Amino acid sequence: MKVNWKNFHVYSDIARKQEIPVPNPQEQVANAILGRVQGIAGYALADKVYKDNGDAVYEGRDAELINRLMDTLPAPLAIALKEAIAV
């Protein structure tokens, strides 16, 4: 899975009229990982996400953890993460 952190946009409404500024989306997602994914794998992924910028590739267990994480995030953040993932 490839994530483009520069394409991370959070909106406050369904019509996408109001974008919520997220100056460092990697930090937001890394903190979410630390709070929701247990164990050293969660820490390692959070550290990797925090240090990444631009396009980043996550494979194997990292990609699986990110996919599971989206089910636990608040909807606006989950949608932004899903849309930042390049298909």
Q: Taking the model in full, what pTM does it have?
A: 0.84
Residue 61 placed within a domain: yes
HEC string of 13-76 equals CCCCCCEECCCCHHHHHHHHHHHHCCHHHHHHHHHHHHHCCCEEECCCHHHHHHHHHHCCCCHH
| pLDDT tens digits for range 63-85 | 999 999 999 998 999 999 999 99
- For residue 76, the enclosing domain spans 2-11+22-86
Residue 17 lies in a domain: no
Domain assignment of residue 42, yes or no: yes
Per-residue pLDDT tens over the stretch 13-64 = 888 889 999 888 999 999 999 999 889 999 999 999 999 978 899 999 999 9
Residue 66 within any structural domain of the chain: yes
How many angstroms from the chain centroid is the CA of residue 45? 11
Domain count, the chain: 1
